Structure 1
Amino acid sequence: MAPDDAIEDVPTSVLSAERCHLGEGPTYDAAIGTAWWFDILGRKLFEAHIATGSVKIHGLPWMASALARIDAARQLIVTEDGLYIRYLADGRMAPFLPVEADNAATRSNDARVHPSGTLWFSTMGRKADPRAGAIYALHRGQLSRLYPDITIPNAICFSPDGAIGYFADTATNVMHRVPLDPATGLPVGDAVPFIRRQGIGGIDGAVVDRDGLIWNARWGGGCVDLYDPSGRRLRSLRVPARQSSCPAFVGSDLSRLLVTTAWEGMDERARAADPGHGQTYILDVAARGHAEVDVRLGP
């Protein structure tokens, strides 16, 4: 197990120098070589072609935090008042399903698609209000609330075979593990504490590679922690911004790691002391990543 203060430097580049107030929700469409992520508080959607480094920024009418590919023409967007279908051809948005639309105190947060095509996504209080958030599952178009009373839901990710789900509450710094039906992505047992983060920083967004290793961004720690399936921390890889928020595998062989960051809650002095704040990075980590799964909206 790596010592808590042992953080490795790996080859790192800036993908986008645009400073996200709250960068989150990266995902990668391997079919077109394009990464997507959000500035939740800035109401922006980023689109980056990884091979060329070309980045586009799309303004949004509301806060959004995550995206899942439906097919070559459509995406599902997780927003502050529910789920929308976005059409790639023109960026048009169409309402799909309201979620907590009548609750002005909450917004969306972390999300990930299970290997079965079921989408797990979350909500939280706009001011991180205690226990105001929840984790939901969208299975074949049907919505269910899996875990209520979460303050800052994060680290939603799944084992490669779909038999295990992970999620965390950053407020308690505990990642949970839950057995799932691989065919549906729905729980078949109780969630139990799996990793209890101690020391500097908090458990934020995460993704699992082909070997079942968990790559977890550490908010306030300026790094990505790598855990094995038993919960043992193997490595910590430096991110050039203190508030690293979420990773995603990118590139033609899915061996590189895109990491979003944020300057939320940082005053002018803190931002000056953290010159990489809010930028979006690519770490060359030789990961054995896998492509994101399309979300299934029907049978």
Structure 2
Amino acid sequence: MVLLVDKMNELQYPLQNVLEARARLGEGPIWDSSQNLLYWVDVYNHRVHQFHPATGKNSFFDVGDVVGAIATAGADRLIMALRDHLVFLNTHTGVVTPILEIEGNLPNNRFNDGKCDSQGRFWFGSMSSLEKPHASLYRYDNDGSLHVMETGLTVSNGLGWSPDEKTFYLTDSPHHKIYAYDFNSVTGNISNRRICVDLTNESFYPDGLTIDSEGHIWSAMWDGWCVIRFNTKGEEMLRLNLPVQLPTSCTFGGKDLQTLYITTASVGLSQAEIEKSFSSGDLFALQTDVTGLPTYGFQEL
């Protein structure tokens, strides 16, 4: 156990390595309150994991393709954004059922992070190269319709909503920015994009994020060895230093939604870097005094 110290508020948080997964690219953690378990993915190993905190048991499904984002979709089912299409995964049988192919004309793209809003709509984005920023953000609705919500992105990443559902957040990692938009929860429309968090002067990149019940943003910093909590003005409130170089995402879970789960990666690290960051790819958790927001699933009409 490592003790993380928030020097700003003189708080101490015990960090635990709860799963020595050694994932290549651990990502996309979501808490399933109905089963008290954490789903997370290993993108390049094509795996969707189920971690049970009560027992420490972890199992996975091999879905046969790059898996960028997941969300629950009813009992024993997940919706997933694979490399270039949406599918359902039956978590009882392991059967993958295709839904829709998207961006098949962009072979250098793949889908990345995603989440569901409170109305059960699935939001997910793609990633492209810096030279050709052809990534987009999509919204897949309950009636099966697909909507392009944002274009011209490089890596559509960490996303979430404020507790009052009036603000939507979206990360573009290579640009070192987390954007805020006005959000209409009824229509699902976003507008008035502005910069919320600007990290252009930093050497690390904002990756996946989660929002707590106070409306603050917790963002995992790729190549930054930390998770940072920001207020809605984009000001740093807390920095949790980690023993790994590549934190990728985080979410709140547990029965009280006060346990912060953090996924990490090992992909691309040299042997020397791995020796400094031996637990890269593992799953971490720490009990906080902060409460997260509920995790929503996809709801079909």
TM-score, normalized by the shorter chain, greater than 0.5:
yes
1:40 aligns with 2:57: no
Quick one: which of 124, 127, 141 aligns to 1:139?
Answer: 141
Q: Quote the residue 2:250 is aligned against.
A: 247
CA distance in structure 1 between the partners assigned to 2:279 and 2:214 by the alignment: 31
In structure 2, relative to structure 1, the CA distance for the partners of 1:234 and 1:222 (3 Å cut) is: same
Does the Cα contact within 8 Å between 2:197 and 2:233 map onto a contact in 1? no
CA distance in structure 1 between the partners assigned to 2:131 and 2:268 by the alignment: 15
Quick one: which of 107, 112, 125 aligns to 2:110?
Answer: 107
1:217 aligns with 2:220: yes
1:262-281 → structure 2 map (5 Å cutoff): 262-281=265-284
CA distance in structure 2 between the partners assigned to 1:82 and 1:45 by the alignment: 16
CA distance in structure 1 between the partners assigned to 2:10 and 2:111 by the alignment: 31
Question: Could you give the per-residue CA deviations for residues 67-104 of structure 1, whole angstroms, max 9, x where no partner exists?
Answer: 11111232101111211111122111111121213432
1:106-255 → structure 2 map (5 Å cutoff): 106-125=109-128, 130-140=132-142, 141-187=144-190, 189-197=191-199, 198-255=201-258
Does the Cα contact within 8 Å between 1:7 and 1:235 map onto a contact in 2? no
Quick one: which of 271, 287, 295 aligns to 2:298?
Answer: 295
CA distance in structure 1 between the partners assigned to 2:12 and 2:153 by the alignment: 33
Query: Runs ≥4 in structure 1, deviation > 2 angstroms?
Result: 3-10, 101-104, 127-130
Does the Cα contact within 8 Å between 1:248 and 1:258 map onto a contact in 2? yes
Does the Cα contact within 8 Å between 2:225 and 2:242 map onto a contact in 1? yes
Task: Kindly state the Cα deviation for residue 202 of structure 1 after the two structures are TM-superposed.
Answer: 1.1
Does the Cα contact within 8 Å between 1:9 and 1:237 map onto a contact in 2? no
Quick one: which of 63, 68, 71 aligns to 2:71?
Answer: 68
7-16 vs 250-259, which moves further: 7-16
Q: Percent identity?
A: 23
Task: Kindly state the Cα deviation for residue 116 of structure 1 after the two structures are TM-superposed.
Answer: 2.0
For structure 1, the residue ranges without an aligned partner over 5 or more in a row are: none
For structure 2, the residue ranges without an aligned partner over 5 or more in a row are: 1-5
CA distance in structure 2 between the partners assigned to 1:94 and 1:57 by the alignment: 17
Does the Cα contact within 8 Å between 1:9 and 1:238 map onto a contact in 2? no
Does the Cα contact within 8 Å between 2:133 and 2:152 map onto a contact in 1? yes
Counterpart of 1:235, as a letter, is L
Counterpart of 1:42, as a letter, is N
User: TM-score if structure 1 supplies the norm length?
Assistant: 0.92
Q: Secondary structure at the match of 1:190?
A: strand
Task: Kindly state the Cα deviation for residue 132 of structure 1 after the two structures are TM-superposed.
Answer: 3.0
User: TM-score if structure 2 supplies the norm length?
Assistant: 0.92
Q: Quote the residue 2:57 is aligned against.
A: 54
Counterpart of 2:283, as a letter, is T
Task: Kindly state the Cα deviation for residue 5 of structure 1 after the two structures are TM-superposed.
Answer: 11
